[in-house]
Structures are given as C-alpha cells and as structure tokens.
Amino acid sequence: MNTHKLKQKAIDKDFLDEIAHLPGGERIIDCFQCGTCSGSCPTAHVMDHTPRRLFAMVKAGFREDVLNSNTYWYCTSCYICTVRCPRQIKITDVMYALKRIALKERYVRRKNAAGAFYSSFVDIVERDGRSFEPELMVRFMLKTDPTLLLKNAVLGLKLMKHGRLPIRRNRIKARNELRAIIRKAKSESL
C-alpha cells in the first residue's frame, strides 16, 4: 500500500453527497473506519489506498485523490467487503460508482486497463445482445497493448485445441428491442 500524502488542495464538500445519493451508497456516512473491508479484500495489497482509507477520503471530500487512485479498478466484485461490513455499506456498489464516474470524466489511465476491457464488453453486448469472448479479448488487447496478442497466442491456441474457443458470434434475435431498452435507460440514466 502506498501511504503517500494526498495531493488535492481544495476539499470537495459535495463529494460525499454525490456518492451517498447513488443506489447502494446511502450508508457511506455510517462508515466508522473499522477496516473489515480492507482486511477482507483480496486485492487490497496492490491498491494505492485500502478501501477503509478510501472511504475516509470520500467522506473528507478528497474527490481528485479518490478518482486518481487505482483502488476501485482493482475491485474484482467479489462482494466479501459488502457481506462483512458491520455498517451495511454496499461497498462493491460504491466501487462500481467510482468506476463509472472515472470513465465518464476520463480519469482512466492507460495502466488501468479495466476501463478498456469494460467498454469493449459493453460495445459487443450492445451490438449482439451477448458477449463474444474472443472478440472481447482481441479488442481489449488492441486498445491497450497489441503485443499482448502475441503473448496470449499460446493460451488462445490451447483453448482452440480443446474446442473451447467459439468462432461464430452469438447474436440474439430481438436486437432492436434490446437496443430500444438500452436507449430508453440511457436517456433516463440515474
């Protein structure tokens, strides 16, 4: 864990409110810094700030520092923190919210490849209605580091050898209906 000093100069007083108004974020104000989340998190050791510390930063209004951290990008959505939180904060959902804000406001740094992965996934699902793993991985690698294509060729061949690599896209019939649902949801976005 990196314990460097926070860089942000001005406090963002609205940040806590912003998070607390998201579905799942209501109870963030109740965090009493017990650290159960950090102790349970499988990836806390690589985070700039552990989840506990991040919540302190959210409450104190360190919006820039929070969004510039790698913490939420390392969240694997395993939900163990959410299950164990004695204050019933939906921590995983707060991490999702931070990812969304970061993507929207372009806080995504190249080394945090998760953003590229997620948006490739969404593009494919919006087009076909279903995910298509080979295309997802190729798109992601092209977006982040094309040498990954070579580095992962063996893995791809291994899957192909065992008949586990689909060649054809799997599309749903009601793609227009699905898109209408997505469009409507987009216009109503929370």
Partner 1 sequence: MKYTYYPGCSVKATANLYQESIDSVTPLLGIELEELEDWNCCGATAYMSVRELMSFAISARNLALAEKHHRDIVTPCSACYLVLKKTNQYFADYPNLRKKLGQALEAGGLSYSGNTRVRHILNVIVNDVGMEKIAGLVKKKLKGLNVAPYYGCQIVRPHYYGCGADEENIDDPDNPVSMDRLIEATGATCVKYSMKTKCCGSSLMGTEEKQAMKLCMEILADAESNGAHCIVTICPLCQMNLDVYQSKVNRLFGTKFNIPVIYFTQLIGLALDRPAKELGLGRLAVKMTRPMKQILQGA
Q: At closest approach, how far in Å is the CB of 184 from partner 1?
A: 4
Helix-strand-coil split of the chain, %, nearest 5? 60, 0, 40
Q: Which among 10-18, 29-37, 56-64, 82-90 is the span making contact with partner 1, rule CB under 8 A? A: 82-90
- How many residues contact partner 1, by CB under 8 A? 60
Subset of residues 146 to 185 that bind partner 1, contact rule: CB under 8 A: 155, 158-159, 162-166, 170, 172-174, 177-178, 180-185
Our finding on whether 190 is near partner 1 (CB under 8 A) is yes
Our finding on whether 77 is near partner 1 (CB under 8 A) is yes
CA distance 185 to 25: 20
Our finding on whether 97 is near partner 1 (CB under 8 A) is yes
Our finding on whether 138 is near partner 1 (CB under 8 A) is no
Our finding on whether 87 is near partner 1 (CB under 8 A) is no
Half-sphere exposure of residue 138, counting CA atoms within 13 Å on the CB side? 10
Subset of residues 28 to 57 that bind partner 1, contact rule: CB under 8 A: 42-43, 46
Helices (H), 6-50: 15-20, 36-40
Which of 58, 63, 82, 94 touches partner 1 (CB under 8 A)? 82
CA distance 83 to 14: 27
CA distance 44 to 91: 13
Half-sphere exposure of residue 45, counting CA atoms within 13 Å on the CB side? 1
CA distance 107 to 35: 26
Query: How many beta carbons lie within 10 A of that of residue 91, not counting itself?
Result: 30
- List interacting residues with partner 1 (CB under 8 A): 22-23, 42-43, 46, 74, 76-80, 82-84, 96-97, 99-100, 103, 112-114, 116-119, 121-122, 125, 129-133, 137, 140, 155, 158-159, 162-166, 170, 172-174, 177-178, 180-186, 188-190
